[in-house]
Each structure stands twice: as C-alpha cells, then as structure tokens.
Structure 1
Amino acid sequence: MIKLGFIAKCKQSGCPWSITLRWIKDVNCWRVTTFTNTHDGCFWVWEDPTVMASRLAKRWKKDIRGNSKWTLSEFRERVATDDHFHITSKVAYKAMTMARASIDGELEDYFRTFWNYYLEIQRSNPNTTSIVKMSEYVEEGGKKRFLRWYICWEACRNGFQHCRKIIGVDGFHLRSKYGGYLLTATSMDPNDGIFPIAYAMVEGIEVAAESEVTFIFDKKKGLIPAFNVVIPNVVHRFCVRHLYANLKVVGFHAKAIKETLWAAARTTTVNSFKDELRKMKELDINAFEWLENKQPSEWSCSHFTCSALCDILVNNTRGSEWSRPICPNIVKKIAVEEKFAGGYIPLQCDLNLFEVKNCHTGEQHQVGLGKKTCSCRKWDLSGIPFKHAICAIWMKRHNVLDYVNSYYSIENYLKVYRWSIKPMAGPNEWPQTHRETPPEYKAKPGRPKKLRLRGADETKGKIKSQLMGSI
C-alpha cells in the first residue's frame, strides 16, 4: 500500500517552522502528524508567485462589487494591507476583470429569473399591483427588452390609507452594468416613521381623494409635468434642502443667506415669513429676487395647507413605551414643548378661547381648544399642540394627549401595520418561464468616472481638520 504524505518547511535558512501531513484513506482526509509553529530569524515575504488571479477574484468579489470604481493601484494597496502580499499589475487587472465579469453574469442571471419572481408575486400576493413595461423595439425571435417595473404591495397600499396624506418622492442611481434609477414613494406613519408606498413609480399612485394629498420632492426635471398629467389636483411641496442647493448653484454661498432661507421656511405665519424675507433682502438683493420668484406655498410652512398634518421640509425623513394612547415619538415632541409652555400666561376669554402671552418677550397668540387651532399655525399644520396650546390646556386641567390629532394614535398606528406582505417560496419553487429580457446595455462614452456626482449642497474636496489634518 502506498502512503501519501506532505511536508512543508519555511524557506528561510535556519527557521524551524514545519508541518507534516499524512493522507488517511479510511476517512478520506489529511491528518497533521507533526507541527512546529515557530519562526526564528526569518522575515515576511511580500512576493508570492503562487497567487492566482482566479483565487483573488473569488476572495475579493464582494469588495469589488461595493467599490465599482476601484483603480488597479487602489486594489493592489488593499490586497497588500489585508492579505500581506504584493501582486503585479497584470495579476490585479486579471483578477478585477474576472470578478466584474462574474458580477455582471450574476446580474444577467437575476434578470433571467425576474419573470419567475414576477409570477411568484402574483401567486402569493394576488392583490399586489405589479406592472412591467417592455421596450417598443422587437428583437429577433419576437423578444422585447425590459424597460421598467412598478410595484405597490397590497399591505403598503392599504396601510397608506391610515397615514397622513403626505408623499415623499425620491430616487437614486443603480450602480450596475445596466445603470438606471430606483424611484421610491414614501409617507409617514403615526409615529413619524417612514412608511413605504411604492417602488419605481412611473404611472402615479391611486389615492382616494387626490385634492387632499400632498407630494414633496426635489423638483427634478420631468416630475412636475408628470404630476400635471397623471394627478393634476394634488398639492406640491419642494424639498428646502434642494432649494438651497439650487440657490448655491446660482452663486449665493453665504452662511447668513442659508440661515435666513431656513428660518423663512420654518416660519408658520405670513408676517414672520415676510420678516425673514426682509432680512434676506438686506443681506443680498439678488438672492431675495431669486427667492421671490418661488411660490412660498411650495417651500414655507407659513403658506402650507393644513390637510396633510405634516410640516416637514425635506423629502428624506428619518426613521419606547407604548402604554399611552399616542405614539411615543409624538409624546417626546410634546414633552419638549411642555418645557417652554411654562414661560407663558394664559387668559381665558370664553369656554374654549384663550389669549396666551409670553412673560418675558410679550409674544401673544390666540388659542382655540374647540377647533384645535393656534394663531402661530403650528397646531394647525401638524395636529400636535405646541407650547401656546399646552399652556391653555393646562389651565383647563385637561390631558394634553387628548388634544392630539387621531392620526397619531396607537390605534391608528396598528391600522397602518395591520396588513402584511404574504410570504413567498424560494427561487426553486417559483413558477418557471423562459423569458430572458435584461435591459439593453449602452456603454457610456469616455473614461468611467471614479467619484459620484456630488450635490450642490455637499462639500467638495478635502475637509480640513485642525487636530487630525485632511480627512
């Protein structure tokens, strides 16, 4: 019987490191018989001619997927840092090419199974709206290319009926061989969390009463004409962060202008809005004239309608105890306002009307508990009583939470998440189809960009830190 064995030793002269392996036929494996795990008088060898590009591609595939703009030098430096050996430019290029080819091949495999997934959605969630649009061009064999896909799950559609009537529309680039965008439509649940409505919205959203819905977005080209055609009667709001970005693009970069713009956006009364615009005019007459051409009803709380019960100014919102009737995040907001309510003195005019005055500044507002209104309009806009209203409620010795709009109740929160997306089977059990329709790949001219396009409101270049240097 032939015995198979293997002995490995350190190549450095005089180093005792070695390992001996012997093949055990009965159990079909290698057994370590001796192992001296000590290096003495040797140094690290950075060059390893046995490293194969195929193994590197497999080892670094996930990292290359997440860093699609890596250069050869960046990849070689990362390999040297993490794996402690150097590779040549030729090996690095071959490894990255193999990894990217594998990634693109996986993407094509995903598109091959897309129609199986589409049929599985129809089987497991039959009331979900899932629409696929194909290209008009017909290829050989009668096949059409995949163009876009819209999906609105039944659970999301039903849950949105109990959310506030505000919809944020946003999108971002898909970093893949085929490119494209992922569009999203989201709302806000009773606990001020993000609630998804639909993905890749291309044909609008069905709502019960279009005139009561408010859309907030970043004024991308094509959105406004699309809204005017599909759902023309809705209210539009523009993201103030993107409004300031456009203001910077036309040349107004001063910090004072930025602060005044946001102050004007946050004001809840027309008079205070005019005061902030007056400050803007004193700072820069050109910036004032540029801003004056924008409809205040689209970006300032002072001109917002109260039907949405939401005073957010951006289209990418952020996402406890549940023993009270109101959602915990709303209770936290009220707790903050209660700290400021102590600085006001209420004067009761009749059963539900109050005159509230600040002890130090002389600020004065009218509060109507019956209609749940305040002359500062914060209560009207959000449905949550603020400091002026809280002061009046305390005088009546009532519970502040009883005056919060029912949209924020835990009962309504449970209605939002009452429905669920039905579970689906695994890919092996999906309905089978032989339609293979990946999007048409169009290589862009010129050298690929290494960095993403920064927004006008983002800092460009390196940020200097006094303690740590360049970041």
Structure 2
Amino acid sequence: MAESQEIELKIHFGGSVKKIGKEDYEYLGELGSKNVEWKFDEILWDRFVDFCKEEALIRAPVGLIWFKSEKEEMKQLRYLYDRYDEEMLMLRSVSKLGIDVVVVFVEHECSEHIPGVIQLSDREHIEDEEHSENDDVDRPKEDDEPEGSEDKNPAEKEDNPTVNPAEKEDNEDGGDEVVADVTDDTNDVRFQSVFEEGEKAVLDKEAYGNGIEEDDSEDERAPVDVEYLDTPVESEDEWEEWNRKLKGKGKVNGSDKYHGDYEKPPYIWLFQKFNSGLEFKDQVLKYFMNTQYDVKMARSESFRIVEKPINKWMVKVCHMKHNHGKSSRISMLKQCVIAVLFREELRINVNLQASTIKDAIKVRYDIVVPISKCYRGRDIALGTILEAQTTQFWKLWDYEEELRRSNQGISTDLCTREVNGVQMSDCFYIFFIELRTAWKSCCRPVIGLDGCFLKMYPIAWTVVRGENKDTWGWFMRKLKHDIGLEFGKDLTVISDKQKGLVHAIELELSEAEHRMCARHIYANWKKLGFSRSEFKSLFWGVAYSYTEGEYKEKMRLVEAYDVVAHNELLKTDPERWCRAFFNVESHCPDVHNNLSESFNRNIKMARAKPMINMLEDIRRQAMTRISSRFFTADKWDTIVTPITMALLEKARCAKKHCSTIRSGFSLYEVNEFDCGYMVDLATHQCACRRWDLTGIPCKHAVCVLDDNQEDPVKYTAEYYYTHVMKRTYSDNIKPVNGKNLWKMIGKPPIGIPEIRKPRGRQEHDIGRKSHLKRLKLLKNCQDIDAYPHVATVISLDTLKLDAKTKLWFMRDQKISVADLVKI
C-alpha cells in the first residue's frame, strides 16, 4: 500500500474497554463514533489525540488505542499504548493487509476533574482488575515502559522529595531543620535505619511501595504530624550527598522501577526485605517462573534459615543481567511447589488430572514440567486436602448418624468384625427410602446387579471386603427386605456370571427371572478362539432374536459356519441371554448390563478416594443425576418421552410393506413379505414379540392402529409416559451436612480391614530383577559337612535330555558324571 493511499477508519471515542470472561471484550461508556479516511502516513498517535480534541471535544488524555478489522470479533482486539512510531506499525500493518475498514476504540484517562470530560477510573486500577497475566492480549509491563510512564503523579517524577516551599527556603539558609514530605500516608514510617553505627538509612519496602502508588494530590492531603527522618548532623554537603543517595534507592538508571508489589515485575530489587529465608526463596521462585530464567541456588541450608537470629532479610547485591538464555525448565519447580500452586484448584475439583496441571503450567508460565512430577505434586496436594483413610474409618459411625438425621426412613447397616481385639470394618449398606418409593411406583421391575452399582436408577449400594457368596448373600437379603421383593415374582435381574452373585440370586430370589449379560458371555466365548468378526455378528444375531424360530435359524447359521463354536455356545445356556426366552412382564429387552458398567466407570475416580469421600461422591452423583433428569423431563411437552416418540416414528416408517386383515373385535393379521403376524390390541401382543417385550407398539401394531385411525401412544406402556418420568425423579436424596457439623456419638473407632490377597500363587515381577537365574534341576544337600552332592539322585538318562542339555546341566551343577555315579 502506498504512503499516500487512504484507508477508512471507524473511530469510537469517549469510552473504555472492559474484559468479559476470559477472552472477550466490550467497549463501555461510548460517547460517539465517526468514520474518517486517513492516509497511511497520517496514522499517528498525535493524530488520534487531535481528533479527540477537535472532532469529539474530549480533552482527556488518550490512554490506549484498541483496534481490529471490521470482520474480526472483539476478543481479537489489539492495542497501542505509546506515541512512538514503532508502536504505530501494528496498526499500519493491519492497514497493509488490504482491509477496507479498521475499527478503532480510543480509551481515555483523566487524573483530575475537568469540566466537560468523562471521568474514568485510574489506568493502573483497570490494568490490575481487567487485564490479568492470563489475558490473551499482552499488557505492557513496567519493565517495558519508557521512563516516567508508570507514575501518573508528576510530583513523584521529580528528583527531590516533595518539600514545603517555605521550609525549603529555611533549609537553604540554615540547613538544620529539614522536613521532607516523602510519604503520601504520613502515619507510616518512610525510612528506617538498617545499618548500624552511622551507615546510611534505606527505604523500607512496604512504605516505599505505598508512597508511589498512592495519590499525592494536594487538595486531598490532610495536615498531619510528620515523623522526622534520621537527619545527619554533619555539614550541608554531607546532607546533599546523603539525600542524593536516598533518591537513588529503588531506582535503576534513574527510573522508578521498584514499586513494592511482589506480584509484579521485576519481582526482586535492591534493598528488598523479607521476613524469612523461606519467603525469599518463594519470591526467587516466582521470579524464575515468570521470567523463565533457570538459576540454581548456590547455598540453601535449613539451619541458616531457621536459626539465624535476625528480624529481616534484605537483598544487598542484585545482578539482574543474565549471561545465559531463558529456559523452559525450572529446577526449583519441584512437586511440592506444584502442590502449593494447585492446592486450591484441587480443593474445588479433586478430579483435576495431572495432564491438566501440566498444560496449565505451560500456559501460565511457559514452563515444561514432566508428567511424573505433576502426578507427585497432585498426590501431595490431595494428601493435605483429603483426610487419611484411617481418620475417615474412625468417623464412619458419625457419618452413618448424619445420614439417618438428614434422610428420614433411610436404611443403613454398618457391620464390623473383631480382629485381634480391634473392631475392623466389614461392610456398609446404604438404602434411601426416596429411591425405593420411586422405583416401586414408577420403574419397570428390572434390577441390574454388578460389582459396584445398580441399574440406571440407583436403589442401594454397599461397601464390602470383596465379592463372594457371603457378601452377595448379605446384600441380597438386605435389598429384598427393604424393597419387599419376597421371592422375586415378576422380577427380572440382570448380572454377570460372578459365582457368588449367581448363588445369592438363586437362593434369595428363586422366582425371579435371572438374565446373564451377553457381553460377558461373548467375552468368555471369544477367549475359546472364536474372535473373528464373523463370530461376533453370528453371536449378536442369536442374542437379538425375538422368537424361538428366529433363534433356531440363527443357531443353524452358527453351526454351518463352525460346529465347535456352535457346541460351545450351547453350553452357555442361551435361555439366560437370548431375547426369545425373556419374560415379557418386565417390558425390558436388554441382553446386557451396560448401564451398570457405565456407573462403574463414573465412580472410578471416587473409588480411589478415602472411605467417606468415596461414599459422599457416589451419593452426590446419584443426587445430581436425579435432579438433572427431573429438570430435563420437566421441559418435555409430549405425552411420552422423546426417545419413545422416535421409536414410534421409526415403526411408522417401517410399516409400508405391511397389510392388515381384520379377524375379530381386536384381532388382526398383518402380512409382511409373505409372512403373517397376529396382532391383539386388547392384550397388547404381537407374534413378533417386540411389542410384548418392550411395551412400545411394533411396526405391525402401528400398521393396524393407523388403519383404525388410532394413536399408537395410547397403546404404549405406562413406564414411557412423561408424567411417570417426572414422578420418578421428583423426590430426591436429601442433602448432608459437612464433617464439622456431624453429631459425635462416641462409639469406638473402626479400624481399616486388612488387605485381601488374591487367590493363587503370587506372580513375581520379572522386570524388576537385575538378571534371571538359570533353572536348577537338582537341589544341593543342606549338610555342609558332607561331600557336595545332590539331595535326590536323578539319572541323566531318566531326564531324557539331549547331549547339549546334558552338558549344560553338568556345568551348572558343577559336578561330573563320575560324581553322580559315586552317589
């Protein structure tokens, strides 16, 4: 673009930019806008200042100039903060890209009241509140600003401290009485002596920081008593030299860089004070992390930090220039530091992953941390947040009492057993009365049992030592008593083939229909060698068969493909996992226990926590889901649920190949591809068994209902109605108070049960051994006085080894064939 070519600018003035959320911005307090066409070489800072004074009639100084292209969003704003030509190159570069219109937002600032000028808040306050170090737009930092740009008060830019003019004349004449008003808050001590025996006084860090950042306006200053400095009593020349050195404290190259804020650059400055060595190390770490300079501590000993009898630590030598480049790895950033940095975030979200912590450190500080260090830091932080497992087992009695207080009618059973005189936790059963009432009145009579949780609508849960006949039998007896199942008539139970669970169901719920999870059946069948994709399709074709005729046809396909696979599949008892043999009273066609498995996955993080935290997470997950499902169902405006409506629409589309023939008052015959199906509207049955098993009209029933001009929704089972769904989730689990509000019942504490070892021979980790020893076939005798020989005489011929193995055997045992013969 030529220098003389014009570009259109849409300038907004009179307002200020405010950040919304983490990324977006908005321009508030706008007084107006105007479109102008400027040449490329006319885009200067002073041109914008003159425009605001002449066109907008705003005399307030310009603080920042924000700009973007017309098509960009507000979160893509960029800014200019100074009048140097180098800064204007950013705006000019946007103009060179061929953009037709550039939108400019002029942000004003005002240090004192001017008639006719909009009053804005202080720029430093806006930068602190609205532009944090996490903003996508990089704000100008103090180290990058030109000299004199930090301090808005002109009085603070002068070389000498503010002195009353009358007193100044007296000082020039006599030089004895000097009153230097160097603080904005005269109640604070400005200076104090930090060197003994006549060494020069230096600035106190806190007082110096407050003096720079406070407003020094004369009309706001109240006359107060001024505390005097340690004035030297020597000659006037010595006083001037002392005062000149005093002005230089806290300055680099004459500019006020050290503002006293430990959270802003440069983080470390000369004569900075600390209360302890640990505080100094924390500040050094902050400097390293924000500047990416990796510097090792020359000496750091605990006794030098703790035992040294001093009140303050001071930076006496400070070399800010580094002879090496920046690094993305900081040696001082150890796992304990990571634990401190993310302790509060883990307190809010204990499920915070180590990978998330690693990414957060990379984004915030541009530092790369090993994932293993993040894992250790996360564990350290969680250890300080979560109570120890032992402490939580002690509080189980109090937790049970709080559950009973907050949830009236709840059924709990905390069982212990005595081991070596100590009561150890054995099992803990929890059953909420609200869940039982909703399940019995609104849910289908189906219960999914698994090693961790119950079906989609949780009824009860328990914590036990392990899955076996005793624990499953105890749990089934408690559940049968609380729900009133008796022997399980018209009840359907879905579970895996865990031996203890199968035995408990047969013993406690003998009249219930017990289905096996088809996914577990297929996994076991697959291990026998039938893992090809063809076997998978054949297996699920058998499992999804609705009628016995369809089942037999699918089994013949399996037999034709592989006879061995067919025979092994018959051994799995298909009546337990094939739809053709399911009871239609439950209106549930499920052949698997996926919903229970999904709950296992959801509570995976909770199971890694201590006892009470785990139980509370499970309770809160159940309470959250019930509440969420209720509000979701409350928004539905259909008679049946949306999923049921989708299934009915699918059946309506599939009926185009069906034709009906009326038989009686409610009996019909439906033909589909030369195959007839009997439909009975009175009993809600169809020969295909889909309507019987699901409770939702199939395509044959929908065909008959459409011919009769009836709504299929009226023939849908009540379980799928929206009002039933709302009633199911209307009553929720009651909230529970925190540990500090629990009632202490004074029962003896419960111990942690011993770790249960798995059955069978323990497998050794071969990878941890330095080397593997060769397997010895003979065992040496333990009698050290006797001649070295084997304990049991074994002939090499009896072992039936080849010649090479025999030589290896004799070399390993360090004996000869002659020795074996003598023995």
**Fold equivalence (TM over 0.5):** yes
Stretches of 4+ moved more than 4 A in 1?
A: 30-42, 59-68, 74-105, 318-321, 443-450
Deviation at 1:158, TM superposition (A): 0.7
Q: Which residue of 2 aligns with 1:127?
A: 409
Q: Which residue of 2 aligns with 1:383?
A: 695
Q: 2 CA distance for matches of 1:287 and 1:60?
A: 55
Call closer, same or farther: CA 1:126–1:89 in 2, change over 3 Å: closer
Call closer, same or farther: CA 1:257–1:437 in 2, change over 3 Å: same
- Tell me the TM-score normalized by structure 2: 0.44
Q: How does 1:287-326 map to 2 (within 5 A)?
A: 287-317=565-595, 322-326=636-640
Q: Is the 8 A contact 2:521 2:572 kept in 1?
A: no
Q: Which amino acid aligns with 2:642?
A: P
Q: How does 1:32-51 map to 2 (within 5 A)?
A: 43-51=325-333
Q: 2 CA distance for matches of 1:415 and 1:159?
A: 7
Q: Which residue of 1 aligns with 2:225?
A: none
Q: Which amino acid aligns with 1:226?
A: A
Q: 5+ unaligned residues in a row in structure 1: which ranges?
A: 8-17, 24-29, 172-182, 187-193, 451-471
Is 2:712 the partner of 1:440? no
Q: Which amino acid aligns with 2:325?
A: F
Q: Which of 342, 349, 359 pairs up with 2:656?
A: 342
Deviation at 1:245, TM superposition (A): 0.6
Q: How does 1:19-34 map to 2 (within 5 A)?
A: 20-22=258-260
Call closer, same or farther: CA 1:330–1:88 in 2, change over 3 Å: closer
Deviation at 1:297, TM superposition (A): 2.3
Q: Which has the larger radius of gyration?
A: 2
Q: Which residue of 2 aligns with 1:4?
A: 204
Q: Which residue of 2 aligns with 1:248?
A: 526
Q: 2 CA distance for matches of 1:298 and 1:397?
A: 39
Q: 2 CA distance for matches of 1:116 and 1:381?
A: 46
Q: Is the 8 A contact 2:358 2:371 kept in 1?
A: no
- Where 2:436 maps in the other structure, the secondary structure is helix
Q: How does 1:351-370 map to 2 (within 5 A)?
A: 351-358=665-672, 361-370=673-682
Deviation at 1:111, TM superposition (A): 3.0
Is 2:458 the partner of 1:196? yes
Q: Which amino acid aligns with 1:151?
A: I
Deviation at 1:80, TM superposition (A): 8.6
The C-alpha deviation readout for 1:78-136, integer Å capped at 9, x for no partner, is 89967655779998898577457557854444334332221011112131111112134
- Tell me the TM-score normalized by structure 1: 0.75
Is 2:392 the partner of 1:110? yes
Is 2:433 the partner of 1:147? no
Q: How does 1:83-94 map to 2 (within 5 A)?
A: 85=367
Aligned-pair identity in percent equals: 22
Deviation at 1:215, TM superposition (A): 0.6
Deviation at 1:296, TM superposition (A): 2.5
Q: Is the 8 A contact 1:47 1:87 kept in 2?
A: yes
Q: Which residue of 1 aligns with 2:717?
A: 405
Q: Which amino acid aligns with 1:166?
A: V
- Where 1:117 maps in the other structure, the secondary structure is helix
Is 2:579 the partner of 1:265? no
Q: 5+ unaligned residues in a row in structure 2: which ranges?
A: 1-190, 193-202, 209-255, 269-289, 293-320, 463-471, 599-628, 768-823
Q: 1 CA distance for matches of 2:434 and 2:547?
A: 38
Q: 2 CA distance for matches of 1:366 and 1:99?
A: 67
Q: 2 CA distance for matches of 1:125 and 1:215?
A: 27
Q: 2 CA distance for matches of 1:449 and 1:357?
A: 66
Q: 2 CA distance for matches of 1:231 and 1:103?
A: 44
Q: Which amino acid aligns with 1:339?
A: C
Q: Is the 8 A contact 1:217 1:238 kept in 2?
A: yes
Q: 2 CA distance for matches of 1:370 and 1:411?
A: 24
Q: Which residue of 1 aligns with 2:705?
A: 393
Structure 1 range deviating more: 270-279 or 146-155: 146-155
Q: 1 CA distance for matches of 2:457 and 2:339?
A: 39
Q: Which amino acid aligns with 1:353?
A: L
Deviation at 1:419, TM superposition (A): 2.6
Q: Which of 371, 392, 398 pairs up with 2:683?
A: 371
Call closer, same or farther: CA 1:265–1:145 in 2, change over 3 Å: same
Q: Which residue of 1 aligns with 2:97?
A: none
Q: 1 CA distance for matches of 2:656 and 2:587?
A: 25
RMSD: 4.0
Q: 2 CA distance for matches of 1:56 and 1:31?
A: 18
Q: 1 CA distance for matches of 2:710 and 2:454?
A: 38
